[in-house]
Amino acid sequence: MLDADLLWTPSVEQISQTRLAAFRDLASQQAGKAFDAHADLHQWSVDQPDAFWRLAWEFCGLVGEAGDTALIPDADPLNVRFFPEARLNIVEAFLKNPDDRDAIIFYGEDGRRLRWSRAELKHEVERLAAALKDAGIVAGDHVVGYVPNMPQTVAAMLATASLGAVWSSCAPESGPDVVVDRFGQIAPKLMFAADGYSYNGKIFDTREAIATVASRVPTIEQVIVWPYAKDGADLPEGMIAYDKFKPADAPVLDCRPMGFRDPLYVMFSSGTTGKPKCIEHAGGGTLLRMLVEHQLHCDLRAGDRMFYYTTCNWMMWNWQVAALASEAVIILFDGNPAYPGITRLFDLVEAEQVTHFGVSAKFIDAALKRGVRPVDSHSLPFLRVVLSTGSPLSPDGFDHVYRDWKADVQLASICGGTDILGCFIGGCPTLPVHKGEIQAPMLGLDVAMLDTDGNPVAGVAGELVCRNAHPSMPTRFLNDPGQARYRSSYFETYPNIWRQGDFTIQTNHGGYVVLGRSDATLNPGGIRIGTAEIYRQLDKFEQVEDSVVVGQNINNDVRVVLFVTTPMDVTLDCELVSRIKSEIRTNASPRHVPAKIIKVADIPRTKSGKTAELAVRDAVNNQPIRDLTGLINPGALAQFTDHPDLKC
């Protein structure tokens, strides 16, 4: 692991042509010394954050006035302020230079294709912004989307942001309970939705779910629905058709100037310990971080074509859409990426001459298992970067990309989170790729691995942390007096040091191997979900007395396993298992449905009464259990180790 095989090295010519090389030269001039190694540039970015972030603003082309001050430092990372005098609206960065060049290409699972130019996108945003303004939306209001990954979703988000309002979204396959748990906490005034979505060759009508969410979130005053599954003619009472909501024309967009920390998004945590946390992100900080990751770490340039398979539940939607600010084209897809076959996405990459292709690690492993060889079946001369995230990419997955996809690409495995709307570690176009390794820390972030005592470690597993503040840290959690939940979520383990919750090893090459989560978040197929949303559905079953849900590592993936206890006279038969799964699928999402539901005699609990999820997870995965002293019934763990039902 610490001396992994070399899979790809950029040529001297390739390195010299990267955006990162140009940035490094400017940074060297500014610092008065040459940065011969990438590690030297990274260290400068950490040691001189004011100089680094100002140069990043200028080099990456962030539209707006930066002001005279780039950074106000503070010992408490929550009190650090970046660009406190800045005035900008991120929509102007997204929509700069509107012309006939492609902006968005959309593919539906059913084969539909839609193209918007940069000028057409701007016009659509102008119309929606005028409609939102007429609907009474003002700065600080919350607008939400219960939406597929479509061009209209991008336009709705940008129109919202142009007014200084705040955007949040959930994918349409999410059940009403999941959506209400999120939207109900942020008091939105208006909701966008689509009347359905496609998946696995089927059309799902969502009008009833939309009506349910609207009725249970009383602050929603208007529901705007665009046709996707139906023709939009028979909407329930109180819903407005998308084309009737927006005017035929609108005045030129006049974006409201905002501060660097003014909110743009509210994202939602996985919901591991209750209702999901509402994480507010600033427009300026979020976009500046994404510009750095796109242009410097992924070598994204104007005219490049980025496709990342994602839904509107996942932060990768926000991450991909930000590529518009680099004047790149974004390729959107809605549906099952493996329908009608696993080569569907490779067909899209070939047809659209994609330069940056992003998927989950699970997709790469699935392609490997099915023997897919695009190198034989597809022409991919434009593809330069393959991006992978969601879960650690296996060494075999690395081999598969270089052997069976394309030999001359930068395979950028990335690791970050919704918490920062970006990455802690990821790709670097001037460095080699080693098998199983993430290439480098992100510029501007003081990344380290710490042991339980807070000491830095290398060559052995430690907690992935960030020891400095950066622009895309959350501005706050909503409904969090005194920032108590914010601090406990990230800064409780190591004072004033952000703990991300990933076990990670730094290798001899200076790269990173992520071993998995160190908290109770589930990660099936690379999609993080919370256990609380599953427990909520189990509360409806009197046949279930107690339960614990964990992730089992199997076949380079994680599957959800639910253990339950029942009253003496109740049998966990097929009928009960089916009902439990149906309830979870309907009211949470298909991804929440356990692969296994197993009856046990007792559930381990801590002395404070909490379910011991981490201890059960360690037992299920035959890993050392870190602390038994806090358990009131440690003997209960024996039934989870080598359980016969977990071997198939």
Pair 300, 437 in one domain = yes
By residue count, the chain amounts to 648
* Predicted pLDDT of residue 628: 67
Pair 318, 357 in one domain = yes
Residue 539 pLDDT level (bands cut at 50, 70, 90):
confident
Tell me the CATH number at 228. Answer: 3.40.50.980
* Predicted pLDDT of residue 627: 57
Would the pLDDT of 608 be above 50?
no
Pair 53, 146 in one domain = no
User: 293-307, 359-373, 415-429 — which is least confidently predicted?
Assistant: 359-373
Pair 119, 214 in one domain = yes
* Predicted pLDDT of residue 614: 83
Pair 182, 300 in one domain = no
Would the pLDDT of 516 be above 80?
no
Mean per-residue pLDDT, 127-143? 97
Which one-letter DSSP state was computed for residue 402? I
* Predicted pLDDT of residue 236: 81
Residue 383 lies in a domain: yes
Residue 526 lies in a domain: no
Residue 257 lies in a domain: no
Tell me the CATH number at 370. Answer: 3.40.50.12780
Pair 299, 394 in one domain = yes
Would the pLDDT of 118 be above 90?
yes
Pair 481, 572 in one domain = no
Residue 522 lies in a domain: no
Residue 272 pLDDT level (bands cut at 50, 70, 90):
low
Pair 388, 479 in one domain = yes
| Of the residues 245, 279, 308, the one at which a domain ends | 245
* Predicted pLDDT of residue 270: 67
Mean per-residue pLDDT, 639-643? 88
3-state secondary structure of 256: coil
Pair 407, 330 in one domain = yes
What total number of domains does the chain contain?
3
Q: Which has more confidence, 347 or 625?
A: 347
Mean per-residue pLDDT, 262-275? 80
Q: Among 39-48, 239-248, 392-401, which range has the highest average pLDDT?
A: 39-48
- As a whole number, the mean pLDDT across the chain is 92
| Angstrom distance (rounded) from CA 413 to CA 427 | 6
Decide: 45 and 443 in contact? Cβ < 8 Å: yes
Residue 330 lies in a domain: yes
3-state secondary structure of 441: strand
Q: Which has more confidence, 113 or 533?
A: 113
Would the pLDDT of 278 be above 50?
yes
Question: What Rg value do the Cα atoms of the chain yield, rounded?
Answer: 24
3-state secondary structure of 636: helix
pLDDT of 195-231, one tens digit each? 999 999 999 999 999 999 999 999 999 999 998 887 6
Pair 82, 40 in one domain = yes
Pair 363, 467 in one domain = yes
* Predicted pLDDT of residue 371: 92
Residue 624 pLDDT level (bands cut at 50, 70, 90):
confident
Mean per-residue pLDDT, 402-408? 97
* Chain centre distance of CA 381: 28
% of the chain at pLDDT higher than 70: 95
* Predicted pLDDT of residue 630: 58
Mean per-residue pLDDT, 245-249? 92
Residue 123 lies in a domain: yes
Tell me the CATH number at 549. Answer: 3.30.300.30
* Predicted pLDDT of residue 629: 54
Q: Which has more confidence, 276 or 298?
A: 298
- Order of strands across the sheet that contains 410-413: 113-117, 102-108, 329-334, 305-308, 356-360, 385-389, 410-413
| Of the residues 455, 489, 517, the one at which a domain ends | 517
The token duo for 186 is 């942020």
Residue 192 lies in a domain: yes
Mean per-residue pLDDT, 586-608? 85
What is the pTM assigned to this prediction?
0.86
Range of the domain at 233: 102-245
Pair 339, 424 in one domain = yes
Decide: 181 and 156 in contact? Cβ < 8 Å: no
Instruction: Tell me which residue of 164, 153, 19 sits closest to 92, measured CA to CA.
Output: 164
Would the pLDDT of 520 be above 70?
no
Residue 323 lies in a domain: yes
Mean per-residue pLDDT, 481-494? 95
| Of the residues 494, 517, 540, the one at which a domain ends | 517
Instruction: Tell me which residue of 182, 137, 189 sits closest to 164, measured CA to CA.
Output: 137
% of the chain at pLDDT higher than 90: 73
